[in-house]
Amino acid sequence: MSAIERLIDLLAAKYRWGLHPIKMFAALLAPALIVWLADWRLRVLAKPIEEEEARIRRLPRIRRR
Amino acid sequence: MYAGHAAVALALKPREPRLPILYLVLAAFGPDWLELLLMIPAPRAGSAMFTHSIPAVLIGASVAAALFRATGRRGGRTLFLAWLLHWPADLLTGRKPLLFGEQLVGFGLYGSPAVDFALESVVVVIGCALYARMFPSRGDLRRVIVILGAALIAMQAAVDVALAVMRDSEWTPSFAVVGRRSHPHPLREDERAVAACLHFAPRTHYTRERWRWTVHEAS
């Protein structure tokens, strides 16, 4: 049994199942990670369009020069 | 509420597009994070009083907003709102303390997991729809938002299945456990005489107590 498994067993014995802090930590972290990951992916996907729009906005200035 | 808190963060994101979504989600779950911190030394009952009561939520939201503002970035008000909205969301699904007291208030929909799942799914859909308005309406972006919503709803389903299977729960909103009657129970013959005597007595606390005591003794 590894040290991490022993630690988890120790905590599981100390805390009741319903109030297990590790379970609660995972439950709180999971939605935050999912939302963060989706937001990052959306920003990555939307970036080329934003850059293109910025380039188009710059066009008249280039023409003036 | 579980996935609903993340949906609240998503719904608030268009208010402050430069504010990182991670901070918003952490703030929306803020009282739960505090409760977890209080659980680490030793699990104890009644810690919700220091994390989920109205004064605790107000203090937590103010501290979080002030700390964020101290970094010199904008969005402290939105963080405050995200933290604050935790309380009304939990009022629907759980039973939380109003003030620093023992009495818990709430509709307690965790006791009825199917209804809780339906409610939280609706909240997630609304949150995702509001969040989607930040981005141009393109297929690839929409797909990511749909996957996000589906993932949150799936997590909520897992929680509700666990609630239904493990607890064998029964719906007990706070209003049902308070010892009140919607209408008076019919009096028996022997109680009527006592009721008639006490009818004209001054309606003080003592009289009410005496009436209750007399009726109990008679029965």
DSSP track, B35-50: HHHHHTT---TTGGGG
Closest CA to B92 of B75, B74, B111, B64: B111
Closest CA to B25 of A27, A63, A17, A53: A27
Output the pLDDT for position B193.
67
Q: In this structure, what is the dihedral angle of CA atoms A47, A48, A49, A53, given to the nearest 10 degrees? A: 100
Facing residue for A19 by CB, picked from B9, B39, B140: B39
Closest CA to A25 of A37, A13, A15, A40: A15
Output the pLDDT for position B175.
61
Q: Give residue-wise pLDDT tens across range B42-98.
A: 766 667 778 888 889 999 999 999 999 998 888 899 999 999 999 999 888 888 888
Q: For chain B, which residues score pLDDT lower than 70?
A: 43-46, 101-102, 165-219
State the complex-level ipTM. Answer: 0.72
Tell me the C-alpha distance between A61 and A44, whole Å.
Answer: 27
Tell me the C-alpha distance between B135 and B142, whole Å.
Answer: 9
Decide if B2 and A27 are in contact by the 8 Å CB cutoff: yes
Rg (CA), chain A: 25
| Interface-testing mutation among A11, A34, A44, A53, with chain B (most B C-beta atoms within 10 A) | A34
Alpha helices, H only, chain A:
3-14, 21-64
User: Do residues B60 and B30 lie in contact, with contact meaning Cβ atoms separated by under 8 Å?
Assistant: yes
Facing residue for A35 by CB, picked from B9, B135, B141: B9
Q: Give residue-wise pLDDT tens across range A8-54.
A: 666 555 554 456 778 888 889 999 999 999 999 999 998 877 777 77
Positive or negative, the Cα torsion across B2, B5, B11, B17?
negative
Facing residue for A21 by CB, picked from B9, B29, B40: B40
Output the pLDDT for position A38.
95
User: Do residues B8 and B24 lie in contact, with contact meaning Cβ atoms separated by under 8 Å?
Assistant: no
User: Do residues B6 and A36 lie in contact, with contact meaning Cβ atoms separated by under 8 Å?
Assistant: no
Tell me the C-alpha distance between B91 and B85, whole Å.
Answer: 10
Facing residue for B141 by CB, picked from A25, A28, A46: A46
Tell me the C-alpha distance between B34 and B87, whole Å.
Answer: 14
Decide if A32 and B22 are in contact by the 8 Å CB cutoff: yes
> Which tokens is B199 given?
């009818």
pTM of the shown model: 0.71
Decide if A49 and B138 are in contact by the 8 Å CB cutoff: yes
Q: Which long-range contacts link B65-71 to residues 24+ away (Cβ below 8 Å)?
A: B68/B23
Output the pLDDT for position A49.
72
Other Cβ atoms less than 10 A from the Cβ of B24: the count is 29
CB pairs under 8 A between A and B: 72
Tell me the C-alpha distance between B149 and B207, whole Å.
Answer: 58
| Residues of A engaging B, defined by a Cβ cutoff of 8 Å | 15-16, 19, 21, 24-25, 27-28, 30-32, 34-36, 38-39, 41-42, 45-46, 49
Distance from CA of A64 to the nearest CA of B (A): 30
Nearest CA in chain A to B146: A38
Tell me the C-alpha distance between B92 and B112, whole Å.
Answer: 11
Tokens 């939520």 belong to which residue? B57
Instruction: Please give the span between the terminal C-alpha atoms of chain A, in angstroms, as a whole number.
Output: 72
| Residues of B engaging A, defined by a Cβ cutoff of 8 Å | 2-3, 5-6, 9-10, 13, 21-22, 25-26, 29, 32-33, 35-36, 39-40, 43, 135-136, 138, 140-141, 144-145, 147-148, 151-152, 155, 159
